[in-house]
Amino acid sequence: MDAERRFWNDEMETLPSDRKRALQEARLLARLPNAWAGSSLLRREWKASGVHPADIRSLDDFIRAVPTVHKEMVRQFRDDTGDPYGGMSLLPADVPCDVHTSSGTTGAPTFLPITERDKSIFAESLARHLWAAGLRPGGVASLSLALYLRPAFALADAARRIGARVTFTDWPDLPRVVQTFRYLKPDVHAFLSPPQAIGLRAEIARLGLDPKEILGSTGGFIWAGDALTPKARRLVDEEWDSEAFELSGTGDLCFMMQECDRHDGLHMHDDLWFVEVVEPGTTIPVAEGERGEFLFTSLMDESLAFIRWRSEDIGTATTEPCACGRTSTRLHFLGRVGYRVSIRGQTVFPVEVQRILELWPEVDHGLFQIVRTGPDMEILRLRVGTREGEIADPAGLKPRLEASLEDALGIPARVDWVDAESLLALGPPHKVPRIHEAD
């Protein structure tokens, strides 16, 4: 294997636009009859819209006619029918598979089967991520993630496919993670989440160690679980003398996109996934570069019917080739549809709040929630996590922090201190749910 080659899969990562579209169309059309036959939820929705796979002869037909599906629809179908997979599974009951779950950040987790064949496809996709972050034959990949995630085992397979050794740790087990860095010196660590990044910084300081000495030999930290803000990138790039690579996707489907070393958007793997950007809550496409909601279609998944799946993520997309040489679609994320709030008619995303909080060392940890009291609010209310003794003068900091938010966002703001551990307990170990629905 040529460790000097730039891409893991040169052909697929540099596909010309005409070949890319032809491949997407061919794979999509081959997939639709099986999805129709296997998914009771999909079949119900298509029939209600008067659509049959025989009607879809092109990508244009698909975009024009096929209805979308979303997570709440799956949950409701599961509750109504007792089908644990919410009508999404394409597998007969006697087909062996693993069953994972989504993270459940925005509601009850959904159950997600995956076959060995699909794990192999995911491993191909994830090998491109690991290669872009610097993993090479003979290296070490440190994997710190929950095994409930659908791509978990495929990620390990991806590292082995490259020819690397794999070591596992749990997200919250910070002493073990530090020991892994100290002695195994992994080349790539996946995934670094916001709570783990905060915890690693504190644990290394507690031990009196030099963060650059402990973490600097790890060339790439793959960041997941929340937006990679400028402060978080500086932590990895400057304090740790490494390089952060933002990764994203959906816990239901896969981690489908990641930054390259140019850090100018997240590269999709267009041969395996088809992405559309639409006006939120609709199927109306937006112009390239405009904000919209991402719809994802898996072109190769034999286990689940992810066809026009509403990701609930808002962002922009470009098909312009990247300076790195890849021709894949690149996405820039702004936040989740459900995490938007309206304050005096102005839309605010949590990442915009986080960028302001990160200017203050006392609250740069990212442990906060926006309090939503209605569809359009008069004031931005925040629950900001703190630990006893962490802030020298919380009463004095509060008005200064509120003034900073008001100046930057142009809206009134109020900060309430809450226990940091109570925020961390609300979600999975790798992220904090960003919205608190007020009673």
Residue 429: pLDDT band with limits 50, 70, 90 = low
Q: Which of 226, 258, 290 is the last residue of a domain?
A: 258
Over residues 244-269, the mean pLDDT reads 92
How high is the mean pLDDT of the chain? 93
- CB < 8 Å & 24+ apart, contacts of 359-366: 359/231, 359/404, 360/397, 360/401, 360/404, 362/386, 362/390, 362/391, 362/397, 363/391, 363/397, 363/401, 364/231, 365/194, 365/198, 365/420, 366/194, 366/198, 366/226, 366/229, 366/232, 366/432
Any domain includes 151? yes
Q: What is the pTM of this model?
A: 0.86
Residue 373's domain comprises: 340-437
Residue 107: predicted pLDDT: 63
Distance (Å, whole) CA 263 – CA 265: 6
Pairing verdict, β 273-278 and 346-348: unpaired
Any domain includes 387? yes
Residue 32: predicted pLDDT: 97
Q: Are residues 142 and 239 in the same domain?
A: yes
φ, ψ of residue 190 in degrees (nearest 5): -140, 125
Q: Are residues 125 and 231 in the same domain?
A: yes
Residue 104: predicted pLDDT: 67
Q: Identify the CATH number of the domain in which residue 246 sits.
A: 3.40.50.12780
Pairing verdict, β 380-386 and 413-419: parallel
Residue 389: predicted pLDDT: 81
Residue 228: pLDDT band with limits 50, 70, 90 = confident
Preceding amide of 191 cis, omega within 30: yes
Q: Are residues 362 and 235 in the same domain?
A: no
Contact 102, 251 (CB under 8 A): yes
Residue 105: predicted pLDDT: 60
Residue 130: predicted pLDDT: 98
Any domain includes 196? yes
Residue 279 has pLDDT above 90, yes or no: yes
Residue 241 has pLDDT above 90, yes or no: yes
Residue 424: pLDDT band with limits 50, 70, 90 = confident
Look at the chain and report how many structural domains it folds into. 2
Residue 6: pLDDT band with limits 50, 70, 90 = very high
Over residues 251-267, the mean pLDDT reads 92
Residue 106 has pLDDT above 70, yes or no: no
Residue 358: pLDDT band with limits 50, 70, 90 = confident
Q: Identify the CATH number of the domain in which residue 384 sits.
A: 3.30.300.30
Pairing verdict, β 220-223 and 244-248: parallel
Residue 347: pLDDT band with limits 50, 70, 90 = confident
Q: What is the DSSP string of 102-140?
A: ---TTSS--EEEE-HHHHHHHHHHHHHHHHHTT--TT-E
Q: Which of 219, 242, 258 is the last residue of a domain?
A: 258
Least confident of 5-14, 120-129, 263-272, 420-429: 420-429
Any domain includes 355? yes
Residue 430 has pLDDT above 90, yes or no: no
Residue 250: predicted pLDDT: 83
Structure tokens at 106: 């925005």
| 192: Cα separation from own chain's centroid | 12
Any domain includes 215? yes
Q: Are residues 143 and 233 in the same domain?
A: yes
Residue 340: predicted pLDDT: 82
Q: Are residues 249 and 345 in the same domain?
A: no
Looking at residue 239, the DSSP 8-state letter turns out to be: I
pLDDT digits (tens, 9 = 90+) for 281-334: 899 999 999 999 999 999 999 999 999 999 989 999 999 999 999 999 999 988
Q: Are residues 127 and 222 in the same domain?
A: yes
Segments of 249-367 assigned E as strands: 257-258, 266-268, 273-278, 292-298, 309-318, 330-336, 341-343, 346-348
Between the alpha carbon of residue 436 and those of residues 106, 192, 368, the distances in Å are 11, 24, 10
Distance (Å, whole) CA 52 – CA 56: 7
Any domain includes 422? yes
pLDDT digits (tens, 9 = 90+) for 18-67: 999 999 999 999 999 999 999 999 999 999 999 999 999 999 999 999 99
Q: Are residues 254 and 386 in the same domain?
A: no
Q: Which of 204, 238, 258 is the last residue of a domain?
A: 258
Any domain includes 67? no
Any domain includes 271? no
Looking at residue 48, the DSSP 8-state letter turns out to be: H
pLDDT digits (tens, 9 = 90+) for 266-278: 999 999 999 999 9
**Amino acid in the structure at residue 237:** D
Q: What is the DSSP string of 149-190?
A: STTHHHHHHHHHHHT-EEEEE-TT-HHHHHHIIIII--SEEE
Residue 273: predicted pLDDT: 96
φ, ψ of residue 354 in degrees (nearest 5): -60, -35
